[in-house]
Structure 1
Amino acid sequence: MGSSHQTVIVTFNQPGASFGQDAVAALEDRLVGAIEAAQAGEFDGNLIDCGEVRLFAFGPDASDLFAAMEPHLRAFPARPAHATLRIGNTEQRVEL
């Protein structure tokens, strides 16, 4: 990853993993569309493990990237959840 890229990492925790992979895939499709429409960066995939889902995206401005993603993330029912915006060596946590 080049120094010009900033990152958004979204973490959903739900004991028992009551959300399914189909729901996560549908969310990812919505995120890809929103990120592309905003020309804010790229969706980079997920990590699903033991009731935790992490979604990764990167672009030139983490704030713009998160703004494109936020409505879809807030609509996803799995909680607790948060987004981490990585800008250089700093991180900003946003509760969802």
Structure 2
Amino acid sequence: MPEHALIAHFKLSDAGFGTPAERQDFMSLEPKLEAALKASGVGLFDGNEFGDGECVWYMYGPDADALFRVAEPIIREGRPRPGSFVVKRRGAPGDPEAKEETVQL
């Protein structure tokens, strides 16, 4: 079964790493996200990256749509700024057949 991904891009308040409060707010939601993905059996949370004006969350599982259904309420708790979005990737990284869909938040 192909590995799908859900990659959430949260726009931050500056062009760097965001404020300490912003970073803490996102990191405080991560255990909830990890638990929801695990409990539902749809996939896993693989961490974050901060920089270049955004926080990025990486989630993987067999169905990008199922990942989004479980993760979306928690993503919305992060109060995404305009310009934030998620990418649903249906297929493995580097697979030329993989389909991507961008959803604005």
Return the TM-score normalized by structure 2. Answer: 0.81
Q: 1:86 aligns with which of 84, 89, 92?
A: 89
Q: Which residue of 2 aligns with 1:53?
A: 55
Structure (1 or 2) with the larger CA radius of gyration: 2
Q: CA–CA distance in 2 between the matches of 1:21 and 1:65?
A: 23
- CA-based RMSD: 1.5
Structure with the largest fraction of strand:
1
Output the amino acid matched with 2:29.
L
Q: 2:32 aligns with which of 10, 30, 33?
A: 30
Number of residue-to-residue matches in the alignment: 94
Q: Which residue of 2 aligns with 1:8?
A: 6
Determine helix, strand or coil for the equivalent of 1:31. Answer: helix
Determine helix, strand or coil for the equivalent of 1:20. Answer: helix
Deviates more, 1:22-31 or 1:55-64: 22-31
How big is the shift at 1:27? Answer: 1.4
Q: 2:74 aligns with which of 72, 76, 83?
A: 72
Question: After the TM superposition, which segments of 4 or more aligned residues of structure 1 sit over 4 Å from their partners?
Answer: none
For the 8 Å contact 2:44–2:61, the answer to whether it is kept is yes
Q: CA–CA distance in 2 between the matches of 1:29 and 1:21?
A: 14
How big is the shift at 1:4? Answer: 2.1
For the 8 Å contact 2:4–2:90, the answer to whether it is kept is yes
Identify unmatched segments of 5+ residues in structure 2.
92-97
How big is the shift at 1:23? Answer: 0.9
Determine helix, strand or coil for the equivalent of 1:91. Answer: strand
Return the TM-score normalized by structure 1. Answer: 0.88
Output the amino acid matched with 2:7.
I
